[in-house]
Structure 1
């Protein structure tokens, strides 16, 4: 990877490519056609809506005279950053929450932060004590109280053996 691109680690490679094309006064459409890429696909890449494949990255690098692997590495660093963001958000312990609670959706694709209200309401409506306790642990009592101010009874036992 070229040294001048090191500072772009974690940024979508399409955005870096767009910047590079503008810097060289190269229009997207003719460039896409020069590397045998569909114009619409290329536009989606440049806007950061689609990733860059290895074969496309090699064609771009060859056409621009860049070091081999520059855009592949940028894509890898971008993917790493996105994965770290997902991990930082975290998920509740899915071994405690039954998939049947979320029968109408893929439990692995739930955005636990954006859909917090729906998750909390569903677990407190249909879940057992262990599931409710896991949701309280994950979101915190204050978040639960803000979503269900009158529905939460005294705190549930934290452990199975407690009364």
Structure 2
């Protein structure tokens, strides 16, 4: 029988103050976890989510799946992951402060 040990990333619960930390679905909620850490974490937390999820999954999630990050978090993501380009990031293309035609 397979042991029921749960693997979780080594992250401080303060990043998830609005969740029951022991009830977080780390696999199913990866977009929330990655987005939260990119927005509020530092290099140590980024290294931990890369270790936990893998660099490719984190980069793909930041580039293609996260629909909103504040402008400062977009800039931080570019520093954390130099292979990203701002113009490829869905959250950059989807931001609310971009100019648009009023008609």
Under a length normalisation based on structure 1, what TM-score does the superposition of the two structures give?
0.38
In structure 2, the residue matched to 1:112 is 26
State the Cα RMSD in Å: 2.3
8 Å CA contact 1:120–1:135 kept in 2: the answer is: yes
Aligned counterpart in structure 1 of residue 16 of structure 2, from 89, 97, 102: 102
Give unpaired runs (5+ residues) of structure 2. Answer: 64-73, 83-103
Q: Note the alpha carbon deviations across 1:92-143, whole angstroms, 9 max, x for none.
A: 12xxx22111000111111100000110000010012111110111001000
Give unpaired runs (5+ residues) of structure 1. Answer: 1-79, 157-163
Report which structure shows greater RCO (CA 8 Å, sep ≥6): 2
CA distance in 1: counterparts of 2:50 and 2:78, whole angstroms: 10
Under a length normalisation based on structure 2, what TM-score does the superposition of the two structures give?
0.58
Larger Rg: 1
Structure 1 stretches of 4+ with a deviation exceeding 6 A read none
**SS of corresponding position for 1:119:** helix
Aligned counterpart in structure 2 of residue 126 of structure 1, from 40, 64, 85: 40
Higher-helix-fraction structure: 1
